[in-house]
Amino acid sequence: MRVLGVDPGLTRCGVGVVEGVAGRPLTMLGVGVVRTPADAELGHRLVAVEQGIEQWLDEHQPEFVAVERVFSQHNVRTVMGTAQASAVAMLCAARRGIPVALHTPSEVKAAVTGSGRADKAQVGAMVTRLLRLSAPPKPADAADALALAICHIWRAPAQNRLQQAVALHTAKAPSKGRLA
């Protein structure tokens, strides 16, 4: 499975591609950051994020895109920028028919470090170890994107089995027909 992880942001949008399957060693295929100038007009920044993500999709041809689920913060401007960059990433994937999965920060931290409350340094250290890298990816947005991809690779099989079980149960459940 090849996954493009996206840590959305307007100034720095982390991107990372990981390939592998759960239970086997994973391989990093690429990592980086799509940057936009903070003083640029919002529309131009969103176009720059789109162009950057499109380049990553062209180059790496992922089967899935994993995006960090936007959560409420105290800074509304930060949340809006993150949500807008997230929407751009989802749009780019949807345009190509690539499935998108959203993972919360705590899900990603728990998957990679074992603790949903891990800090950036712990996530970076575990990403480095899991992907057998010589140093943690910089900036932290890049490491977070790799962590998202790893989380999806590890969680997707279980999520798929759960969805199949629910679908099977729903199909077998007696229908509640009309009473005569």
Catalytic (active-site) positions: 7, 68, 141
Residue 107 assigned as binding residue? no
Taking the mean position of all CA atoms in its chain, how far away is CA 150?
Answer: 9
Q: Let me know: does 103 contact 152? Beta carbons within 8 Å.
A: yes
Distances (CA, A) of 144 to 44, 56, 95, 106, 177: 24, 16, 24, 12, 49
Name beta bridge partners: 4. Answer: 17, 65
Identify residue 7 by its one-letter amino acid code: D
Give the up-direction half-sphere exposure of residue 29: CA atoms within 13 A in the CB hemisphere. 17
Report whether 45 contacts 10 (CB < 8 A): yes
Q: Is 141 assigned to a binding site?
A: yes
Would the annotation count 7 as a binding residue?
A: yes
**Alpha carbon distance 59, 105 (integer Å):** 26
List, as residue ranges, the binding site for Mg(2+): 7, 68, 141
Q: Which residues are annotated binding-site positions?
A: 7, 68, 141
